[in-house]
Amino acid sequence: MLKLYHLPISFNSRRVWICLLEKKLDFELVEMKLDGDQYQSEFLKMNPFHHIPVLEVDGFPIIESFAILDYLETKYPTPALLPTNPEDLAIVRMVQMVTLTEFIPAMTPLLRQMMGFGEETPEKIEQSKEKIGVVLNFFAEKLRRSPYFGGEHLSLAELVAGTAIPFLPQMGIEMEDYPKIKEWCDRLMQRSSWQETQPTPEAIAGFKAQMKELMSKR
């Protein structure tokens, strides 16, 4: 039995959740509140770094979302979420890593401000938007030949980039400036896996309140 320990609002968690849905696997969701439950001894046995997500497979814990995605793709290869064409595979991996190392760090100041976790300087916000623009232009170029990064079909690149990019309008970045990316986002949002896992306004508001309460106690 597959058991996913996750936080619904987390990009890292959601990409695994979508993978499980896209592959139509049976699994159990265990929601973590991150108010101390990540430090419980049973959870620390699975992940001593107290991060989510964790996928437990018949007592075998897998940490780090990219490792989990690779496990699921290898263990359950149908439907395939990695292309076999070398160029397409390279694009998928580039998008995954650029999202992790360039996009999300650039997005973080905007995310913190949107969530009310602190004020950022205008200079920092402008730097973030400039860096995000570079990433979105890079991604748009990779989508010029096909509807998805891996070609004609959904790939792991969508699961990684496509759980973060759709939040940009809430942070003041208009997707109309990036028509290829907007079309791609609209395509993803038509899928039941994206709709089922999309954080609701209530969930976002609840997370904000919880995090503010935790931060006030530090």
Distance CA 159, CA 37 (A): 26
Q: How many residues does the chain have?
A: 218
Summarised one tens digit per residue, pLDDT across range 88-145 is 999 999 999 999 999 999 999 998 888 777 778 889 999 999 999 999 999 999 999 8
Q: What is the pTM of this model?
A: 0.94
Helix (H) or strand (E) holding 6: strand 2-6
Which residues are bridge partners to 28 per DSSP?
Answer: 3
What band does 206 get if pLDDT is binned at 50, 70 and 90?
confident
Residue 212 in this model has a pLDDT that exceeds 90: no
141 close to 186: Cβ distance less than 8 angstroms: no
